[in-house]
Amino acid sequence: MFYHLLKHVLLGPLLRLLFRPRIEGLEHIPEEGAAIVAGNHLSFSDHFLMPAIIKRRITFLAKAEYFTGPGLRGRLTAAFFRSAGQIPVDRSGKDAGQAAIREGLGVLGRGELLGIYPEGTRSHDGRLYKGKVGVAVMAVRAGVPVIPCAMVGTFEIQPPGQALPKIKRVTVRFGEPLDFSRYAGLENEKAAIRAVTDEIMYAILSLSGQEYVDRYAAEVKAELEEVRKSRDKKGGAAG
């Protein structure tokens, strides 16, 4: 009940009023039945804007950190995600990917919409990064369509590290559903699952117009963090 109150009365109308999102391809979202909405991830605002314009309830696999943040902001964020019915996923450890897949298949098994960001993390520079294969495994195993989605302009209104978004118009584009029934039974074949994932990412790329990077975003972020730490260490030694 709180989900619908939040979406249709409290938060949804406010977001539509402030950001006046241009919505393209909303007819591609099925009115009923299970499906995956796979999108790029540019901003914390994505978590609010996409669900606000989709008529149906959509459940996201959200990183567990959103439920355990410190301070008032952390508690408010956790309360929002819990109230919105989002599922926390622990991304640490070797079994994290399988846990996320199990949770996602549970949502799809109930005939609901599942939202997922195949990149696995927010883009730190506005580019589109290589997709992780979990989305493909779920699509093939559950036998459901994948609707590609592109958020355009959300990086500019709220890049990583910026607490509050700028009030500026954004665009949300949905593409035609992707059918992967030809891969039925091949969810354990690495080459097939990689092909499905790449097809999904190409569809997102075609909608977003981003520059594509054939590497995982988390790896690039980790490298940049190591460079930053090295510079800070050198700077401290010089001082």
Residue 187: Cβ within 10 Å count = 19
Q: How far is CA 121 from CA 43, 73, 117, 186, 200, in A?
A: 10, 20, 7, 26, 16
Q: Are strands 113-116 and 35-39 parallel, antiparallel or unpaired?
A: parallel
- Between the ranges 7-11, 122-126, 162-166, where is the mean pLDDT highest? 122-126
pLDDT band at 60 (very low <50, low <70, confident <90, very high): confident
Q: What is the mean pLDDT of residues 88-100?
A: 70
23, two tokens: 């919505």
Whole-number Å distance between alpha carbons of 93 and 114: 23
pLDDT at 228 (0 to 100): 87
Q: Which residue has the higher pLDDT, 2 or 87?
A: 87
Say if CB 129 and CB 216 are below 8 A apart: yes
Whole-number Å distance between alpha carbons of 18 and 166: 10
Q: What is the mean pLDDT of residues 67-82?
A: 73
pLDDT band at 141 (very low <50, low <70, confident <90, very high): very high
SS3 130: coil
Of the ranges 8-12, 117-121, 126-130, 195-199, which one carries the lowest mean pLDDT score? Answer: 8-12
